[in-house]
A and B are shown apart, each in its own frame.
Chain A
Amino acid sequence: MASKNTAKKSLKLAPVLDLNEATALHERLLSLKGSPVAIDASAVERIGTLCAQVLMAGARSWEEDRVSFTFAKVSDAFVKTTQLIGVDIAPLMAKEI
């Protein structure tokens, strides 16, 4: 996957990604559109379905734009929950240079 030569942006997720956080996360992702983004999910203690939806919609959107969208760091809880709900984040784990 080729990435554009723009500066990579980092997005650090809040510890609690619940109903209240979904809109905020949505807005922040939209504001980063066009730039490669590395999501830092290392602080996540809890992620609900709504935020997972936003993240996956983001991943798709970035893919369409052919811009890099990766999970740079993930917490245990983040991995467990996404796996539980059948959301496969493995292909999005950071692997490129």
Chain B
Amino acid sequence: MDMNEIKEIFFQECEEQLAELESGLLRLNDGDRDPETVNAVFRAVHSIKGGAGAFGLDDLVSFAHVFETTLDCVRSNRLEPNQDVLKVMLKSADVLADLTNAARDGGSVDEARSRQLIKELEALANGELPQPAVSEPAAKPAPPAAPVAAPAPAPVVNEEGFQPVVFSFDDFEASEPPAIEPSTFEILFRPKSELYAKGNDATLLLRDLSRLGEMSIHCDMDELPALGSMNPEAAYFAWKISLKTDKGEEAIRSVFEFAEWDCELDVALAGGDHTGTGEEPPMQPVPFDLSLLDDDVPASSGAAEDEEQVVAQREARDDAVSAAATASNVLQMAQTARASAESNRSAAPTSSAAQAAAQQAASAATPTIRVDLDRVDRLINLVGELVINQAMLSQSVIENDTNGTSSINMGLEELQQLTREIQDSVMAIRAQPVKPVFQRMSRIVREIADMTGKSVRLVTEGENTEVDKTVIDKLAEPLTHMIRNAVDHGLETPEKRVAAGKNPEGTVRLTAKHRSGRIVIELADDGAGINREKVRQKAIDNDLIAADANLSDEEIDNLIFHAGFSTADKISDISGRGVGMDVVKRSIQALGGRINISSKPGQGSVFTMSLPLTLAVLDGMVVTVANQTLVVPLTAIVETLQPEASAIHSFGASQRLISIRNSFCPLVDVGRILNFRAIQANPVDGVALLVESEGGGQRALMVDAIQGQRQVVIKSLEANYTHVPGIAAATILGDGRVALILDVDAIVAASRGQTLKPEMSLAAAG
């Protein structure tokens, strides 16, 4: 693992933390006052800051630091997280997300915005509430000049002295004064018992001290009591040390950095050339390099070298004592954990945290593993092969087993069932809750609400509804656009709402649920609903419909999905970015989904999307075209019909229209478009599939015959072969034949080149 990989992990983690941050803030916004919620929010920002610091992402660190400081005020109950405070924090969470993205992808961020939020956050931390609604009596009013005078956003240095420094080498080692004259220090060092209780030891400190220069030491044992009355874990020894070093007093003190509170320490420069006064106790010089010592020759001691080793002593039976500690350890640890949880509960600031921790522990009880997506995809692929193989096997058994009752046949049925179950289970691995996408939407709502001056509340339901990851990934864009649309066009301004007797705050409701093997996502607003008169007029102006066309309310509503259709009188900054609802519809269709709208004047609109749960299998209609087997996605087909000769109208050299209930629809011979045959087949001999094209118009696709409907496993052609125009993918049927899956949109687009222009055809159809 190298730093780049860790950085990648960091950004993944940031995403999780940002989601955690936002959902926590939203919970607080809903009145949740569980300390663990605040803690989780704090930890999220804290963790991002920690990682960002390690990678030198200064902008991210500075912002996270200010944010964290303010959150700490909430955590320590110095700041009440009311709606106004949370508004600032939610915006800050957005900026933090932007900064994270910028750090990863190198993009830029709205510096003015982050600067502004840093100011607001600091003001909050300084006890300045955004609005006079003071809920904190103790809040000290900060002098107006005090907070942030300088407009510059960057290096934030607060009272902690914290500075976003990468790999700061500013500790004593790195900042050693290069050349100080060697001088001699007198050091008095008297440890307290706590020093030992905390796993430190005077031996370690003296070792580090000895490395600074030439050291003489005297161990003061005056405090040492008699063996019988001593506490073996208490501190009795003290030291008087004389150290000649060129590293300075700072270096000496930093040796004791960790021990500072747990010892008495006195460091003083020795006067003149250090010659101890008469009363001084004798000093033992400690060699700079202790490794020079030999254990047989205790150098300075002058003791008897010819010491007689008492050999062959009986081995003391002393093993028992040191082993005593091991036995009851497991029990002890359990008790320790419980005890510390209890002590947590009684500790002041983290009071009910333990309780919340217990809940969290319970919810975190489902163990998870992280798996590379590639592995899952490979598994899905293999299961796809298995399904096909099983179908082929079944088919050939059926063909060879005329009576159909053999045990092989029964076994095969079980195999089929098992295969289905495996397939479902494997698909479930990729299934993920729509929650992250829904969470992203709350930010979009905040932004649009800010830009339009509207007051909006986003309510989400069913965010744990699961759907294939690929679907989730592709869902964000159309949803974003729809949400923008709902707030910008759907909801009225607060004044208009009040005038209409509504709550000035509009509500946008985003719901997900499963329905008959698909996921249904609903986006409802309680705005004014679709202005049908306006839509109708616009459609007439744009030649989408004839002026006298007789359309149902639903038909009028669905006109907004036509290309280039926008009801806003002037293109607004928000929804009108040259993208209309037609794009939304197209991307939903590209996912094998459908979308429609229902609207009630004065009460709002509901967009309903229905999407497949996975993009790995597809419900298709198996058809024959020029002796080839093709699969047409079922979602694209509106209806099938058997054309009557009288309904076919020729147009120009080779174009034909089919009249369906008083309207005309271009007829497209799939076999011709795909070059399966040189001349068009006779429509009367085949079947017409009425499909909806991306422009909202309809086409009748001519095929020779319908074989049936079935669920097929999608195999990418690009991965296995090459991209084929008009073909979306391939599948393998039960009889082993490869069947191509039609790309309906591409077929329709290709048909335009040789047929009427779609606008004209629509105008004619009206």
Contacts and interface: CB of A to CB of B under 8 A. Distances in A.
A–B contact at 8 Å CB threshold (below): yes
Interface of A: 8-12, 14, 18-30, 33, 38, 40, 47-50, 52-54, 56-58, 60-61, 64, 70, 72-76, 78-81, 83-91, 93-97
A59 B531 CA distance: 101
Interface string B420-456: 0000000000000000000000000000000000000
A86 B219 contact: yes
22 contacts: A12-B316, A18-B201, A22-B232, A23-B232, A28-B321, A49-B203, A52-B237, A53-B232, A54-B227, A57-B224, A57-B225, A57-B230, A60-B224, A61-B226, A72-B313, A84-B217, A87-B219, A89-B298, A93-B303, A94-B307, A95-B303, A95-B308
Contact of B302 (A28, A79, A83, A90): A90
A61 B218 CA distance: 21
B298 A8 contact: no
B229 to A, nearest CB: 9
B416 to A, nearest CB: 65
B298 A56 contact: no
A60 B286 contact: no
B159 interface: no
Contacts of A96: 308
A94 B298 contact: no
Interface string B133-147: 000000000000000
B210 A79 contact: no
Interface in B220-259: 221, 224-228, 230, 232-233, 235-237, 239
Interface of B: 191, 196-197, 199, 201-203, 206-207, 210, 217-219, 221, 224-228, 230, 232-233, 235-237, 239, 283-284, 286, 290-291, 293-295, 298-304, 307-310, 313-316, 318, 321-322, 324-325
A81 B218 CA distance: 14
Given A10-B316, A23-B233, A49-B201, A86 B310 contact: no
Contacts of A52: 203, 237
Given A25-B232, A57-B225, A83-B298, A72 B310 contact: yes
Nearest to B210: A84
Given A26-B227, A26-B232, A94-B307, 9 more contacts: A8-B313, A24-B321, A24-B322, A49-B196, A79-B295, A83-B284, A87-B237, A91-B301, A93-B298
Contacts of B218: 86
B284 A88 contact: yes
A79 B298 contact: yes
A56 B221 CA distance: 9
Nearest to A81: B203
B754 to A, nearest CB: 89
B304 A80 contact: no
A79 B196 CA distance: 21
Contact of A24 (B197, B308, B324): B324
Contact of A57 (B203, B227, B295, B309): B227
A25 B316 CA distance: 13
